[in-house]
Chain A
Amino acid sequence: MNLSDNRLINDRAREFLTEHRESIYRRTDRMFAWLMVFQWIVGLTVAAWVSPYAWAGRTHYVHPHIWSAVILGGLICSLPTFLAIYLPGRAITRQTIAIGQALVSSLLIHLMGGRIEAHFHVFGSLAFLAFYRDWKVLATATFVIAADHMVRGIYWPESIYGITSIGWQRSLEHIAWVSFEDVFLFYSIWVSCKEMTIIANRRSEMEQMQVEVEREVTDRTREIELQRLVLQESHERLERQTAELRRAIEASEGANRAKSAFLANMSHEIRTPLTAILGFADVLLETGDIKKAPADRVDAIETIRRNGSHLIALINDVLDLSKIEAGKFQVENLPCSLHRLIGDLKHLMQVRAEEKKLSINIHYDGPIPEMILTDPTRLRQILMNLLSNAIKFTQEGEVSISVTLVGKREDRKIQIDVKDTGLGISDEMREKLFHPFTQADGSMSRRFGGTGLGLTISRRFAQLLGGDLEILETSSAGSTFRLRIDPGPLQNVELHEPNEQKIEKPAQVKPAPASKEVLKDLHILLVEDGPDNQRLIQFLLKKAGATVELAENGQIGYDKATQTDQPFDVILMDMQMPIMDGYTAASKLRADGYGGPIIALTAHAMAEDRNRCVEAGCTDYSTKPVDRTKLIELIRFHAQAASV
């Protein structure tokens, strides 16, 4: 019988079935080994109990039943027991046991006087033999029982059936009853073997399944190990890349620091000569009777001033962009009147517009906040850039500014549209305009000037102010730039709609008092290493009425400040000097108790430079190139403050 369609499973199932049967045979053999010995002892006991002696009057002798139990019983039990112990599992062993068990039944029935109850041993023995689950064993035992009955029925019919004639029928009847039990036992064995077959098949299938599972697990484990190795390699590669990236970042940061240092130095190195250039250009324009000078000379001086100013603007833009890209640019949040700021800008740009016969119109769409919270310097810078561009690229027509408050509640923005009637911008250049050093085309710079940084910086400023800058529309009829900024919280801010016609004109700056009177009687120490700047600043200060002493470096300045009998009212201290720089000199002066104002002069224009000066002990700060008016006003202010 095939156990399974799978030959592998089928073969293995046969092995399991054989193994199971062997196990049953061996187990049952062992059981019968004990049973045989036990039955022998029982036979002896029964014989000794029932018929220990045979008698003849008063004499007696050992009953033949005792000898039968000892010798015949021992003989019956010996071989099955021996085979069960030494040759378990063999077919001949269980067949011998079957013969022996049937004979034991016969002997025990005899020793127990043929009692009908003793005959149950036969049926019990057959049931016991069925434990082998081997029908041949039952057949053998049945054959022995049948033979016993047939022989007795033929030769001693009266002793077994109580009749004198040959007991064929009675023998067959007895055999039939035994066979009757065999039928059930055979059926039981058949069912049991069938179940064993099913169990073997299941075991085989399970084993096969286990093998497949183990193989699968092994494969998976190998795959996982491979994946782990791949992951480990990826991890190591990632770590290497991270390390490389870290080194790259460090290198980048180093390069950034170097760039910042380079920019600072470049700024310093350019500003320093520019101070002299612009300053002396001013001197040339202001000294003597300039009106009598030839026009081309004046034009040459103006050209020097204009290009110097352009160079300063360029440096300022580069510094701003550098700080923005480094993420170091910080905007302020100050209350600011928007309509006033726009009005100031209009007036400021009005001159340039009128030069090109353009008009600047301001229009307010709805009410706007009276005050907003923003960085007015940067907002002014953005709007000035937009207006400057609009005027620059518009040949005729007008430049209009439209201001409105848009958005709802928390997301309200100030929207400023700057519209011109210029030549427009091509679509492909719309976004490029916001990239650094990009203009509409290469010829623009030549035609209109500019650095190409204005819109880039303006957009970055707009983003820093919580908004954005974009080109709303552009065509050959003109362009519209839209600026949006965050006005800050508006809960308690009054909204109003300004009338552009009634915008107050910016207060006229009072003319500064005559330069000769401003710094009169002030004793000023100028600590400056550059001879050009020494002469320029000394010239400006003396022209303003001050008495000036010079020191070439910080050490000399420190010495003069500490050793003079007449204390200086103000010390102008250049910060970059040989031998001893301004920071050290200022610190030492403060440490020695000098309480007068020390105004730092430096070509470093970064915000952190100002902080560094203040930390060193300087009262205030002025950048190079020197703005003459501002410098003199600064000196005057601090001199007065110190004297109060």
Chain B
Amino acid sequence: MQTSTHFGSQTSGEDALIEPSRWTFRALWLPLVVVVWATLIGAGMVGLMVYHNSPGARSDGNPVWQENPLVALDTSRDNLLVFIHPKCPCSQATLSELARIQADCGDRLRIGIAVYQPDEENWSDTPVVRQALDIPKAHVFADPNGELATLFGAETSGHVMLFSTQGIRTFSGGITPGRGHEGNSLGREAIRQYVSQNEIICDTTHVYGCPIVDRPSAGLTGNEELRRELE
């Protein structure tokens, strides 16, 4: 006579002669494998989430508009300045969110997108650049060797800065909830709130993206810098 265990292993009259330890192993090996498998996946997912939520470096020290030859302050409306790396895949989420902001704010907001352009490369036609060019009424311009980003203190692609008509920075940070991830975020809400209500609900958020320029950071992570700044 044959019986079937819960996990499908076949037992017979001979099983009565099998040692209990062997029987236990035959019964539990599959659940154990599943548990190990699930644990590994859980660890992987946690690691991915950690990476996903790790902000980039930042050094946004000057809280006012910096005069420069590439873009001028529009005193008739708020100014939004975005710094992106043309090859950064994470910035596509930033540009998608930027397009939503543009749709919400319209002409009340002047958008300028500074695209990092090293001298040795021609990165003027990348998916990121094309996406930026598709945003209505956005002023897309090259930022040679990231000088403008350096001037404004943006080190991570996707860094967004909002300046009032007087050139005062009211917001600095990212507008995505995570690395390369679209969706509701504090940064987007802060910009929309300021432009529409002239109200500052949040002036700083984490920036998620690739480093704009290839240089060693100050050795501080974005979170540490932000924390220092907040202190």
New A-B pairs, 13, CB < 8 Å, besides A58-B214, A110-B52, A156-B178: A53-B89, A55-B85, A57-B214, A57-B215, A58-B118, A59-B214, A60-B87, A72-B45, A79-B37, A96-B37, A99-B38, A103-B41, A114-B183
User: How distant is the Cα of A60 from the Cα of B85 in the complex, in angstroms?
Assistant: 12
* A72:B48 contact, CB within 8 angstroms: yes
B178 near A114 with CB under 8 A, answer: yes
Would you call A71 an interface residue if the criterion is a C-beta within 8 Å of the partner chain's C-beta atoms?
yes
A64 and B51 contact, CB distance less than 8 A: yes
- Our pick among A78, A92, A158 for the contact of B30 (Cβ within 8 Å) is A92
Q: How many residues of A contact B (CB 8 A)?
A: 48
Report the Cα distance A164→B190, complex, angstroms: 13
Which residues B37-58 have CB closer than 8 A to chain A? Answer: 37-38, 40-41, 44-45, 48-49, 51-53
Question: Closest CB-CB distance, B97 to chain A, in whole Å?
Answer: 10
Least CB distance, A509 to chain B, in whole angstroms:
122
13 contacts between A and B (CB under 8 A): A50-B92, A51-B89, A53-B87, A54-B210, A55-B87, A56-B214, A68-B44, A79-B37, A92-B8, A114-B181, A152-B49, A158-B177, A159-B177
Partner of A87, one of B8, B90, B118, B211: B8
**B93 contacts the other chain (Cβ, under 8 Å)?**
yes
Known: A56-B211, A58-B118. A114 touches B31 (CB 8 A): no
Q: How far is the CA of A323 from the CA of B196 in the complex (A)?
A: 143
Contact in complex: A106, B45 (CB < 8 Å): yes
Q: Could you tell me if B41 and A76 are in contact, using CB atoms closer than 8 angstroms? A: yes
| Given A57-B211, A72-B48, A103-B41, also A90-B178 (CB < 8 A) | no
B213 at interface by CB-CB < 8 Å: yes
Chain A binding surface, main DSSP class: helix
Q: Does A343 contact B (CB under 8 A)?
A: no
CB within 8 Å of B: which A39-56 residues = 50-56
Answer whether residue B112 sits at the interface, using C-beta atoms and an 8 A cutoff: no
Contact B49 A57 (CB under 8 A): no
A95 CA / B53 CA spacing, docked (Å): 30
Q: How far is the CA of A624 from the CA of B44 in the complex (A)?
A: 143
Please pick, from A63, A87, A91, A160, the residue contacting B183 in the complex, using a CB distance under 8 A. Answer: A160
Instruction: Using CB atoms, name the residue of chain A closest to B31.
Output: A92
Q: Which residues of A contact B48 (CB under 8 A)?
A: 64, 68, 72, 107, 110
**Residues of A with C-beta under 8 A to B177:** 114, 158-162
CA of A152 to CA of B40 in the docked complex: distance in angstroms?
18
Interface positions of B (Cβ within 8 A of A): 6-8, 30-31, 33-34, 37-38, 40-41, 44-45, 48-49, 51-53, 85, 87-90, 92-93, 96, 116, 118, 120-121, 146, 157, 177-178, 180-186, 188-189, 210-215
Any chain B CB within 8 A of the CB of A209? Answer: no
- Which of the residues B41, B53, B88, B182 comes within 8 Å of A72, measured between beta carbons? B41
> Could you say which of A55, A79, A113, A163 contacts B182, with CB atoms under 8 Å apart?
A113
Chain A residues positioned under 8 Å from B189 (CB to CB): 162
A89 to B7, CA, bound (A): 11
Q: Verify A51–B44 contact, CB threshold 8 A.
A: no
A68 proximity list for chain B (CB < 8 A): 44, 48
Set of chain B residues within 8 Å of A64, measured between Cβ atoms: 48, 51
Most chain A CB within 10 A, of B33, B41, B93, is at B41
Task: Compute how far the CA of A91 lies from the CA of B89 in the bound complex, rounded to whole angstroms.
Answer: 41
Smallest CB gap from B210: residue in A: A55
Which residue of the partner chain, among B34, B37, B49, B213, contacts A155 with CB atoms under 8 Å?
A: B49
Top 4 A-B residue pairs of the complex, sorted by shortest distance between their CB atoms = A57-B214, A162-B184, A51-B89, A159-B178
Partner of A90 from the list B7, B146, B210 (CB cut-off 8 Å) is: B7
Chain A neighbourhood of B180, CB < 8 A: 50-51, 65, 113-114
State how many angstroms separate the Cβ of B117 from the closest Cβ of chain A.
Answer: 11
